[in-house]
Chains A and B, each alone.
Chain A
Amino acid sequence: MIVDIGYYALLAAITMTLYGILAGTAGILKNNGNLIQSSRYAVLSTFSLVAVSYFVLTYAFITDDFSVDFVAGHSSTDLPLFYKITGVWGGMEGSLLLWEFILSLYIAIIAFRYHKSNKAILPYALIVLNLISFFILFMLIGWSNPLARLIPTPLEGQGLNPLLQNLGMVIHPPLLYLGFVGVAVPYAFAMGSLLRGKIDNEWALVTRRWTLVAWLFLTAGMGMGGQWAYVELGWGGYWAWDPVENSSLMPWLTATAFLHSVIVQEKRDSLKIWNMLLVTATFVLTILGTFITRSGVLNSVHAFAKSPIGPAFLIFIALILTFSLGLLFIRQDMLASKKQEAGLISRENSFLLNNVLFVGMAFTVLYGTLFPLLAEGLADKKLSIQAPFFNSIMAPLAILTIFLMGTTQFLGWKRTSRKMLAKNMLIPSTTGILFMIAGAMTLDVPWQFIFLAGMGYFAGYQVLMELIRAVRGGKKSKGQATQNEEQKQKRIKSLLRNRRKQGSAIIHLGVLVFLVGILGNYFGHESSFTFYPGDEKTVGDYTVQFEKLEESKARNADLVTVKLNIFKEGQHITTLNPAKAFYPTSTQPMTEVSIYRTLKEDLYTSVATINNDGSATINVYINPMVNFIWVSSFFFIVGTLLCLSYKSPQLKSGAKALKQEA
Chain B
Amino acid sequence: MNRKVYFLGGSIAILGLLGLLLYGVFYASNPKSIPSALIDKKASAFTVTTFDGKTISLEEFKGKPVILNFWASWCVACRKEAHIIEAAHQKYTPQGAVFIGIAINDTREDSLKFIRRYGKSYKLAPDDKVGNISLNYGITAVPETFFIDKEGIIRYKTLGAVTADSMEEFLENQLRS
Contact = CB atoms under 8 A, between A and B. Distances in A.
B21 A291 contact: yes
B31 A372 contact: yes
Nearest to B34: A382
A310 B76 contact: no
Contact of A588 (B11, B20, B75): B75
B74 A589 contact: yes
A586 B79 CA distance: 8
Contact of B35 (A295, A377, A382, A588): A382
A75 to B, nearest CB: 13
Nearest to A284: B14
Contacts of A28: none
A325 B11 contact: yes
A318 B25 CA distance: 14
Interface on chain B toward A: helix, strand, loop, or mixed SS? helix
Nearest to B73: A585
Contacts of B7: 325, 329
Interface string B10-47: 11001001101111111111111001000000000000
A296 B75 CA distance: 21
Contact of A374 (B10, B11, B20, B73): B20
A63 interface: no
B74 A588 contact: yes
A325 to B, nearest CB: 7
A318 B31 CA distance: 23
Nearest to B110: A585
A158 interface: yes
Contact of A317 (B18, B113, B117, B161): B18
Contact of B31 (A158, A299, A585, A587): A299
Nearest to A162: B76
A497 interface: no
Contact of A382 (B17, B22, B29, B110): B29
A298 interface: yes
B173 to A, nearest CB: 21
Contacts of B20: 370, 373-374, 377
A67 to B, nearest CB: 15
Contact of B28 (A288, A291, A373): A373
**Contact-size category for A:** 35 or more
Interface string A292-326: 00011111000001100011001001100100010
A641 to B, nearest CB: 36
Contact of A314 (B10, B25, B30): B25
A299 B32 contact: yes
Interface string A355-387: 000000000000000101110110000100000
Contacts of B73: 585
A298 B31 contact: yes
A247 to B, nearest CB: 12
Interface string B66-87: 0000000111100110000000
Nearest to A152: B83
A535 interface: no
Nearest to B31: A299
Nearest to A311: B25
Given A325-B7, A332-B3, A158 B76 contact: yes
Interface in B48-67: none
A588 B79 CA distance: 11
A325 B14 contact: yes
Contacts of A321: 14, 18
A156 interface: yes
B122 interface: no
A588 B76 contact: yes
Interface residues of B, number: 32
A311 B10 CA distance: 22
Nearest to A298: B31
Given A158-B76, A297-B24, A589-B74, A376 B29 contact: yes
A317 B21 contact: yes
B28 A310 contact: no
A376 B22 CA distance: 13
Nearest to B74: A588
B157 to A, nearest CB: 15
B156 interface: no
Interface in A550-596: 582, 585-589
B92 interface: no
B10 A297 contact: no
A585 B24 contact: no
Contact of A585 (B21, B28, B113): B113
Nearest to A333: B3
A158 B82 CA distance: 11
B137 interface: no
A377 B23 contact: yes
Given A325-B7, A329-B7, A588-B76, A314 B28 contact: no
Interface in A600-643: none
Contacts of A370: 17, 20-21, 24
Contacts of A585: 73, 110, 113-114, 117
B76 A586 contact: yes
Contacts of A311: 25-26
Nearest to B19: A377
Given A587-B74, A589-B74, A314 B31 contact: no
A161 interface: yes
Nearest to B11: A325
A372 to B, nearest CB: 7
A378 to B, nearest CB: 10
Given A158-B79, A321-B14, A325-B11, A297 B74 contact: no
Interface in A269-302: 288, 291, 295-299
A296 B21 CA distance: 11
A557 B114 CA distance: 18
Nearest to A372: B31
A299 B31 CA distance: 5
B28 A377 contact: yes
Contacts of B80: 73, 158
A318 B11 contact: no
A596 to B, nearest CB: 30
Nearest to B141: A588
Nearest to B32: A299
B76 A587 contact: yes
Contacts of B28: 297, 373, 376-377
Contacts of B76: 158-159, 161, 586-588
Given A377-B20, A585-B114, A586-B74, 19 more contacts: A158-B79, A296-B31, A297-B24, A297-B31, A298-B24, A311-B26, A314-B18, A317-B21, A329-B7, A332-B3, A370-B21, A373-B24, A373-B28, A377-B27, A382-B35, A585-B73, A586-B76, A587-B75, A588-B74
7 contacts: A305-B161, A314-B22, A317-B21, A321-B18, A332-B3, A370-B21, A377-B20
Closest 3 CB pairs of A and B: A299-B31, A297-B24, A373-B24
Interface of A: 73, 156, 158-159, 161, 288, 291, 295-299, 305-306, 310-311, 314, 317-318, 321, 325, 329, 332, 370, 372-374, 376-377, 382, 582, 585-589
